[in-house]
Amino acid sequence: MGTVIYGNELAQELKDGMKARVDELRRQGRRIPSLSVILAGENPASLSYVRGKQKACASVGIESSVIRLPADVSQEALEAEIIRLNEDPAVDGILVQLPLPAGLEESRAIGRIDPRKDVDGLHPLNVGRLYLGEEGFVPCTPRGCMELLKRMEAPLDGCRAVVVGRSHLVGSPVARLLQNANATVTICHSHTRNLREICRQADVLIVAIGQPHFIDHTYVKEGAYVIDVGISKAADGSLKGDVDFDDVLPVAKAITPVPKGVGPMTICMLLDNTLKAYEEREKHGL
Ligand code: NDP
């Protein structure tokens, strides 16, 4: 029977450490780290994610602000807002909540963010740094997956890792992080043939496809470390992962559940990236 690794528990431990760091800054009368989120439109899921991010910031003492823009905001006005935040010395982290309303170009907006404040790690410069194995901001969900693998004590060096899903947000960057950790990585997607056979070779299996309970025990090697990134809402309102947890638990060495798995770690890594941005900016007197 595998060990269940709860992301909410790990996130809480890490947040306790962050809170202690921010409390110490406050005690010393120093400037407090700050995150600004740009939210365009009224997408209910985005509104709820942004509220979650604000709550998480408050829980560790990081300051946060939300800039609300109408759904029909022009590309120019959106970018002007990003530039204003780039130039505001009190702002350490900038996040543009995705998806943007129709008509707005996400890549142009992300490209406007000062890479030193790009706490989502989506600016092309930070993407490039990740691929070159250089220091930079790494997207939050892939970072969360790596922290969970660390907690599982998964031996990554030389292991066979399979990532199902190749999005820019999750699959591709987590595959790169695994490769940077010396795993031998295969990336699978909707055109992959023999997906089951490939997954069955994985010592580490990361699934990020958004297909509820797609992966059952027939895809999983005995003793594999399994990270389930997927989140889908079922008809009854419950959240389902891409992995059939009950079916896979007996064969896995360790596995993350949904909910209480990768989700809380994603927000936790956003806070960590914001602290990192703050520390870098303070160090360089920015
Ligand atoms: P995308 O839709 O951008 O990408 C999905 C990927 O899965 C694509 O590469 C697609 O292949 C692949 N895929 C889809 N169906 C199959 C299939 N049947 N077999 C093999 N590959 C398949 O999604 P994201 O990467 O943004 O998110 C993936 C999941 O993770 C979603 O459920 C999302 O809600 C969740 N998520 C969770 C987060 C968290 O914090 N827990 C954060 C971000 C996402 P192709 O490229 O060929 O189309």
Nearest alpha carbon to residue 164 among 184, 187, 183: 187
pLDDT at 207 over 90: yes
H helix intervals, the chain = 7-27, 44-60, 75-87, 106-112, 124-132, 140-152, 171-180, 195-199, 245-248, 262-283
- What's the whole-number mean pLDDT along residues 221-244? 96
Is residue 256 lining ligand 1, measured as CB closer than 6 Å? Answer: no
- Residue 80 belongs to domain spanning: 29-116
Find the mean pLDDT for residues 107-127.
98
Angle at CA 248, nearest 5°, toward 172 and 202?
45
Indicate whether 77 belongs to any domain.
Answer: yes
Residue with CA at minimum distance from ligand 1 atom 36 = 230
Q: Is residue 11 part of a domain?
A: no
Same domain, 155 and 199: yes
- Catalytic, 53? Answer yes
**Whether residues 157 and 110 fall in one domain:** no
The answer on 86 and 151 residing in a single domain is no
Pocket test for ligand 1, best of 50, 95, 106, 189 (most atoms within 8 A of CB): 189
State the average pLDDT over residues 126-153. 97
pLDDT the model gives residue 286: 82
What is the pLDDT at residue 93?
Answer: 98
Q: 201 and 96 in one domain?
A: no
Any idea what DSSP says for residue 207? Answer: E
**Would you place residue 37 in the very low, low, confident or very high pLDDT band (cuts 50, 70, 90)?**
very high
Q: Are residues 177 and 78 in the same domain?
A: no
Pocket test for ligand 1, best of 188, 231, 256, 258 (most atoms within 8 A of CB): 231
Q: How many helices and strands in the chain, by DSSP H and E?
A: 10, 11
- Regarding whether 152 and 241 lie in a shared domain, the answer is yes
- Is position 215 within any domain? yes
Whether residue 156 is found in the same domain as residue 110: no
**Domains contained in the chain, number:** 2
**Model pLDDT, residue 67:** 98
What is the overall mean pLDDT for the chain? 97
Residue 75 maps to a domain: yes
* Confidence at 76, pLDDT banded by 50, 70, 90: very high
- Looking at residue 131, its pLDDT comes to 96
Residue 179 among the catalytic residues: no
- My answer on whether 146 and 202 are in the same domain is yes
What pTM, to 2 d.p., does this model score? 0.97
Is 120 an annotated catalytic residue? yes
User: 15, 97, 117, 118: which one is catalytic?
Assistant: 97
CATH code, 247:
3.40.50.720
Q: Could you tell me if 165 and 252 lie in one domain? A: yes
239 lines ligand 1 (CB under 6 A): no
Residue 226 has pLDDT above 90, yes or no: yes
Answer yes or no: is 217 within a domain: yes
Q: Is ligand 1 within 6 A of the CB of residue 65? A: no
Q: Whose CA is nearest to atom 6 of ligand 1?
A: 165
- 74 alpha carbon – ligand 1 mean position (Å): 29
Q: What is the pLDDT averaged over residues 211-232?
A: 98
- Same domain flag for 147 and 259: yes
pLDDT for position 109: 98
The count of other CB atoms within 10 Å of the CB of residue 111 is 16
Does 2 map to a domain?
no
pLDDT surpassing 90 at residue 189: yes
pLDDT at 77 (0 to 100): 98
pLDDT at 285: 85
- Shared domain for 165 and 84, answered yes or no, is no
In a domain, 127, yes or no: no
Q: Residue 76: which CATH number? A: 3.40.50.10860
